[in-house]
Amino acid sequence: MSGIGNKDFQHSYATSHNLISPKPQNAITIAVSSRVLFNMEKEQQIYEQQGMEDYIKYQVAHETEPFSPGPAFSFVKALEAVNTQLRELYPESEELFDVVLMTNNHAYVGLRLINTINHHQLFIERFCMTGGNSPIGYLKAYHTNLYLSADPLKVREALEEGIAAATMFTPEKMKEVSETQLRVAFDGDAVLFSDESERIYKAHGLDKFFEHEKAHENKPLDHGPLKGFLEALGKLQKKFYGKGQRMDCPIRTYLVTARSAASSGTRALKTLRSWGLEIDEALFLAGAPKGPMLEKIRPHIFFDDQMFHVEGAAEMGTVACHVPYGVAQRVTEKE
């Protein structure tokens, strides 16, 4: 299914840009669905209301019209900007971001996607058009480090298979973000860390949570679903540090947590240190809303396990992703 009908185009595009895709086992592979990379809301409505045949006819009739950017577009552009700098510093290295376009579209729709990628001058070599089948097998084959989709069921399926994944939402009005520095913001519990501490809080309340964190502050938390992605970002950051670029590194990471610094922040920071991971900025908000702080950071992407934080961020223009993992999901299951 991968790369149907786009081999010649991609070869000429890559040649003109002197770019070669890294081997999947060497790259940091980011799989994005077509519905988060591009704005396909109108097409999705046709599919839902009129069915597959009308949807395909519409796409074929409009295949020379490029899609407009979706919520993941700025993130992908920032990945490409980091790759440009990595190639300058390490011309022979394959430790680069590699974006794979995952879509359950029929191959007929592929031409419009290829035309859109060409129009926006994106470097995306790898396509998977699964024709309605689950993408999980392909995600594993590509050694995927992160999967972004608009479909919460596919995201849950990926997480259950041990693949870092999140459901991406489109803010009503997206804030402008940096074109030269990739900024990634993470919640702590049930995102970078396990939901162990959150379970204590949900079951026994805030006081018991503080007691538990104080008693266990020297015991690292277990890893959460996105720890591996932070690890991958850290690995690339160190390549810039090795060339004396710590202060102007084109990757910046943020921990944005509802924990309070004095009573429960120690364990979070000691956990990161025990993993050998650095985070550039840590914001302990002690329960305050995350939206205003994220508006100041302007990340390309923010990950949280609780929908009200995701919605609060999106309302203020941040591209926010829901990680449906851990005890908080049981509360929202009915929704």
Share of the chain above pLDDT 90, in %: 68
Which bin fits 105, alpha (ψ -120 to 50), beta or left (φ > 0)? beta
Report CA-CA distances (Å) from 240 to 48, 83, 85, 97, 147. 46, 11, 9, 14, 25
The set of catalytic residues is 187
Range of weakest confidence among 6-10, 216-220, 222-226: 6-10
pLDDT in tens, 262-308: 888 899 999 999 999 999 999 999 989 999 999 999 999 999 999 99
In the structure, what pLDDT confidence band is assigned to residue 255 with cuts at 50, 70 and 90? very high
Give the Cα-Cα-Cα angle 172, 146, 264 (nearest 5 degrees): 80
| Residue 78 pLDDT level (bands cut at 50, 70, 90) | very high
CB-side neighbour CA atoms (13 Å) of 238: 10
Q: Is 92 exposed, middle or buried (0-12, 13-18, 19+ CB in 10 A)?
A: exposed
> Of 180-184, 197-201, 215-219, 237-241, where does mean pLDDT reach its minimum?
197-201
Task: Note the pLDDT of residue 263.
Answer: 80
Interatomic CA distance for residues 28 and 31, integer angstroms: 10
Closest CA to 14 of 144, 89, 126, 128: 126
Is the pLDDT confidence value at 332 over 60? no
Render pLDDT for 83-103 as a digit per residue (tens, 0 to 9): 999 999 999 999 999 999 998
Predicted local confidence at residue 104, as pLDDT: 83
Q: Which residues contact 65 (CB under 8 A, 6 or more apart)?
A: 112
Domain covering 182-322 assigned CATH 3.40.50.1000 in the classification:
yes
pTM exceeds 0.75, yes or no: yes
Give the model's confidence band at 6: pLDDT under 50 very low, under 70 low, under 90 confident, else very high. very low
Mean pLDDT of 175-199: 92
What DSSP assignment string belongs to 235-273?
Answer: HHHHHHHTTT-STT-SEEEEEEESS-IIIIIHHHHHHHH
Q: What is the pLDDT of residue 124?
A: 94
**pLDDT score of 198:** 81
Q: Residues 95, 86: contact at Cβ < 8 Å?
A: yes
Report whether pLDDT(123) > 70.
Answer: yes
CATH 3.40.50.1000 location in the chain = 182-322
Check: CB of residue 299 under 8 Å from CB of residue 185. yes
* CATH code assigned to 24-168: 3.40.50
Q: What amino acid is encoded at 121 in this protein?
A: Q
CA 139/CA 131 separation, integer angstroms: 15
Mean pLDDT of 178-205: 89
Q: Which tokens go with 297?
A: 């950071």
Helix (H, G, I), strand (E, B) or coil at 220: coil
C-alpha–C-alpha distance, residues 25 and 29, integer Å: 9
| pLDDT score for 298 | 96
Residue 18, pLDDT score:
59
Window from 51-55, 113-117, 273-277 with minimum mean pLDDT:
51-55
What are phi and psi for residue 264, nearest 5 degrees?
A: -145, 5
